[in-house]
């Protein structure tokens, strides 16, 4: 099936990378057909509902029907010639991304498309349609029929400050879900976070059906992560441990690993230099992963993450950058053993 994904737009590269990784984790894979700002069109055997349930940085998944230029005449002509047969009530919604296709009035275009689709077997119902057609005006115009929405509100309900145990600097749930997806976590797989903190990554992996293992040198974080897991109706193994030594007990044990190690020089890093901490942690993570498995590791820009990962034996598959605030740029590496 050709899928049309309307991405969140909160990062220039992560939403599309997350979607492709999630499709792979579902055992379906995906081939990119077209990318636009906040738009991904791909060929995939992934079920839209299953894909939408996994994603954190996406609004909806639709079945792609066509893409064309942003001309009203071309768009309405393509809509009239749709091969997809359907009966019953329908509605059309059109979204414009940023300042793209400014010459289009989205409400007028939706009405014009609707007029082309109306027939004796099809009627417009704006309140509760049986079929919802969606158009996205980005670099080009992309059109499809909605198959599944992403429940973005669920991520807001899991905001770090709402959990029983809170630590400043905790990752937002939508980003945590994206990071877990980048590690290709599958249902029933063993997932580890060697620097689990308050447990945000464990929560997102657990909600995807993974068996979660969390480790931290801070006993308070261990207790807090367990409390947060229970608050989400989840369970897992969380214990106090040094990430750099975990491989001795868990050699080639995990199907996926993701982590956001501490950036400060403090007790949380064992009073080690940040560069050395990452070097030793990446070596341990490599030994803990099964062959061919993925890890997603975050770091501040000043850490030579790519070279350290390669020294540890990883293949660097992707590298993303995110500005957290004026003085911190965070790098997100997708690594494969």
Instruction: Please tell me the total number of residues recorded for the chain in this structure.
Output: 337
- Check whether 94 has a pLDDT greater than 50: yes
Give the sign of the dihedral formed by CA 55, CA 56, CA 62, CA 68.
negative
pLDDT digits (tens, 9 = 90+) for 135-154: 999 989 999 999 999 999 99
- Domains of the chain with CATH codes: 2-149 (3.30.2130.30), 153-336 (3.40.50.150)
78-100 average pLDDT score? 85
Which residue reads 């080690």 in tokens?
272
Q: What is the pLDDT of residues 202-245, one digit of tens each?
A: 999 999 999 999 999 999 999 999 999 999 999 999 999 999 99
CA–CA distance, 103 with 77 (Å, rounded to integer): 18
Mean pLDDT check: name the lowest of 135-139, 261-265, 282-286: 261-265
Q: Please answer whether residues 273 and 267 qualify as being in contact, where contact means their C-beta atoms are separated by less than 8 angstroms.
A: no
């Amino acid at each position: 099936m050709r899928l049309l994904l309307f991405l969140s737009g909160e990062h220039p590269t992560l939403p599309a990378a997350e979607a492709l990784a999630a499709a792979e984790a579902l055992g379906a894979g995906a081939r990119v057909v077209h990318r636009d700002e906040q738009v991904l069109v791909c060929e995939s055997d992934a079920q839209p509902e299953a894909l939408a349930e996994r994603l954190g940085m996406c609004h909806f998944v639709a079945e792609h029907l066509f893409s064309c230029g942003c001309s009203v005449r071309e768009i309405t002509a393509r809509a009239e010639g749709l091969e997809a047969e359907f009966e019953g009530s329908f509605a059309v919604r059109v979204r414009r991304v940023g300042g793209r296709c400014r010459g289009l009035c989205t409400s007028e275009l939706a009405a014009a498309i609707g007029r082309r689709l109306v027939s004796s077997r099809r009627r417009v119902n704006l309140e509760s349609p049986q079929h919802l057609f969606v158009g996205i005006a980005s670099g080009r115009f992309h059109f499809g029929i909605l198959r599944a929405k992403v429940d973005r509100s669920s991520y807001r309900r899991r905001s770090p400050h709402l959990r029983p145990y809170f630590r400043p600097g905790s990752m937002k749930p939508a980003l945590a879900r994206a990071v877990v997806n980048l590690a290709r976590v599958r249902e029933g797989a063993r997932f580890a976070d060697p620097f689990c903190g308050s447990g945000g990554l464990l929560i997102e992996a657990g909600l995807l059906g993974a068996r979660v293992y969390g480790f931290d040198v801070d006993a308070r974080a261990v207790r807090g992560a367990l409390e947060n897991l229970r608050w989400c109706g989840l369970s897992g193994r969380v214990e106090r441990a040094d990430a750099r030594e975990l491989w001795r007990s868990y050699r080639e044990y995990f199907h996926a690993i993701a982590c956001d190690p501490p950036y400060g020089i403090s007790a949380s890093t064992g009073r080690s230099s940040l560069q050395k901490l990452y070097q030793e942690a990446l070596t341990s993570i490599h030994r803990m992963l099964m062959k061919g498995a993925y890890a997603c590791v975050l770091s501040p820009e000043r850490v030579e993450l790519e070279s350290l990962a390669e020294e540890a034996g990883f293949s660097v598959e992707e590298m993303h950058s995110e500005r957290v605030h004026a003085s911190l740029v965070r790098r997100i590496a997708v690594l494969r053993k």
